[in-house]
């Protein structure tokens, strides 16, 4: 042993490793505790690191800089990982997902800046206690970032109840034409809390159903609801629509007969890419059914500017969250561009007047107004409306449910197929692109 800097063949102290690696004593002790590195103990009880142990530390540092967790690092160094290639592939997928999230953050901030560069004209306001422009900008940015990790309507119990009310009220409108033969392999994408899943199972007995969602919380709720109803053969899969299908797992390319998508595209930053990925899941001749709303189609009597402004808050918040509450009108070009054939769009209007009190309660009040009311806090925090103006809009929306009120809203249902492709065959979208 030497008393100065150790020779490579000598043992290193924890101070030596700390100085050369840049890690603190505390971190080195923690890494030893979790099995990432090992140390010898001298007669005095102090740690000593032999050359092989120092080399292990630097290998661990390289793996950590690649972003692997300490448990993964320890398993790889100990050769205890049964499939290190799969571990690295999984880590690459995690990095890809993180990059997508960062890209979404950037897109949301760009959207905020665009809105700030082109502000809406506001009427003169006599309030002296309104935030300064710089403060309002900061509030918009903070609110946008808060919304980034959450579904624009929220994941709480009230939202779960609203989704179930929506499913119960709109069952015929949403599922009209979505009839699948027994034994067909069907994938429901964006199953959420299972509001539409039960209807698919009840209206299509004998189908082989896979329900997919990004949220583990929603999948747990869906699984519980479906099993409580006596259905035990459904596969529940956590997956991201923005990831291309792979040849492993439950979502392999070309393995499904039908895809069912309901109220999902409105929440996606890039619905075109998601549709291309869904097309890959279908076998030749398979079909897709897509149902989406369009908040721009909402109109009512008595008309109210405050009510329209409250509805517009939901549209703006969804845009800031990366979605599109007006996506219903875009279904044909989106499906066409994704390479689907025989795209057909059917507008399906919900019309509510005083002769339809059950629809006024089930759709206007418990579905649409509940959705708008659910974004009140975000809308006020983002400075889109004052609390008083938003509440006025809610009161006017509720006014439309009275005996002399009328409320109208249009959903858009799309069906399309994946053709049996022949050499040289192109889609209409591709032909138009070549012509241009």
pLDDT in tens, 260-294: 999 999 988 899 999 999 999 999 999 999 999 99
Give pLDDT, residue 7: 46
Three-state DSSP state, 175: helix
Alpha-carbon distances of 167 from 71, 158, 192, 215, 374, rounded to whole Å: 43, 14, 12, 19, 17
Residue 73 has pLDDT above 80, yes or no: yes
Q: Where are the beta strands (DSSP E) in 87-135?
A: none
d(CA 263, CA 174): 10
- Of residues 308 and 177, more confidently modeled: 308
Residue matched to tokens 């005083």: 354
113: phi > 0 → left, psi -120 to 50 → alpha, else beta; which? alpha
Residue 425 has pLDDT above 60, yes or no: no
As annotated, the residues of the chain forming the CATH 1.10.1660.10 domain(s) are: 14-77
Average pLDDT value over all residues in the chain? 81
CATH class for the domain made up of 14-77: mainly alpha
The answer to whether the pTM exceeds 0.85 is no
Mean pLDDT within 345-373: 91
CATH class for the domain made up of 157-420+429-435: alpha beta
Determine how β-strand 256-262 pairs with β-strand 185-189.
parallel
In tens, the pLDDT along 127-166 reads 444 555 555 555 555 554 544 444 444 444 554 554 454 5
As annotated, the residues of the chain forming the CATH 3.40.50.150 domain(s) are: 157-420+429-435
> What number of other Cβ atoms are within 10 A of residue 106's Cβ?
10
- Of residues 325 and 158, more confidently modeled: 325
Instruction: Give me 278's structure tokens.
Output: 């869904």
In this structure, are residues 209 and 198 in contact, taking their beta carbons and an 8 Å threshold?
A: no
Residue 218 has pLDDT above 80, yes or no: yes
DSSP run (H or E) holding 305: helix 305-320
Instruction: Name the H helices within 192-245.
Output: 197-203, 216-228
In tens, the pLDDT along 171-214 reads 777 788 788 999 999 999 999 888 889 889 999 999 999 999 98
- Cα–Cα nearest to 1, from 49, 39, 37, 45: 49
């Amino acid at each position: 042993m030497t008393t100065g800097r150790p020779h490579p063949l000598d043992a290193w102290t924890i101070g030596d490793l700390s100085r050369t690696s840049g890690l603190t004593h505390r971190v080195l002790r923690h890494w030893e505790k979790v099995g990432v590195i090992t140390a010898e103990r001298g007669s005095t009880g102090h740690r000593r690191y032999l050359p092989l142990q120092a080399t292990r530390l630097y290998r661990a540092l390289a793996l950590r800089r690649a972003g692997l967790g300490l448990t993964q690092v320890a398993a790889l160094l100990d050769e205890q990982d049964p499939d290190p290639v799969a571990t690295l592939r999984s880590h690459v997928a995690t990095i890809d997902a993180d990059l997508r999230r960062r890209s979404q953050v950037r897109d949301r901030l760009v959207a905020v800046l665009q809105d700030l560069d082109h502000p809406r004209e506001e009427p003169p306001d006599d309030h002296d206690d309104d935030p300064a422009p710089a403060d309002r900008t900061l509030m918009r940015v903070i609110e946008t970032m808060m919304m980034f990790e959450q579904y624009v309507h929220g994941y709480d119990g009230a939202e779960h109840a609203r989704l179930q009310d929506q499913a119960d009220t709109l069952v015929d409108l949403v599922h009209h034409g979505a009839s699948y033969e027994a034994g067909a392999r069907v994938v429901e994408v964006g199953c959420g809390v299972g509001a539409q899943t039960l209807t698919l199972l009840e209206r299509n007995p004998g189908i082989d159903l896979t329900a997919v969602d990004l949220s583990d919380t929603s999948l747990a709720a869906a699984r519980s609801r479906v099993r409580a109803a006596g259905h035990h053969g459904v596969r529940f899969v956590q997956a991201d629509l923005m990831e291309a299908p792979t040849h492993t797992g439950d979502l392999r390319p070309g393995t499904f007969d039908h895809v069912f998508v309901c109220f999902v595209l409105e929440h996606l930053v890039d619905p075109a890419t998601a549709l291309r990925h869904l097309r890959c899941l279908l076998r030749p001749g398979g079909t897709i059914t897509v149902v989406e709303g369009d908040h721009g189609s909402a109109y009512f009597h008595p008309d109210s500017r405050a009510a329209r402004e409250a509805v517009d808050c939901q549209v703006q918040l969804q845009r800031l969250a990366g979605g599109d509450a007006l996506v219903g009108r875009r279904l044909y070009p989106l499906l066409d561009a994704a390479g689907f054939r025989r795209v057909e769009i059917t507008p399906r209007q919900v019309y509510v007047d005083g002769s339809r009190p059950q629809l006024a309660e089930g759709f206007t009040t418990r579905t649409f107004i509940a959705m708008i009311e659910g974004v009140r806090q975000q809308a006020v925090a983002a400075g889109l409306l004052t609390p008083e103006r938003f509440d006025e809009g809610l009161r006017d929306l509720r006014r439309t449910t009275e005996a002399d009120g009328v409320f109208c809203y249009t959903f858009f249902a799309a069906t399309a197929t994946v053709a049996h492709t022949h050499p040289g065959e192109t889609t209409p979208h591709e032909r138009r692109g070549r012509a241009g």
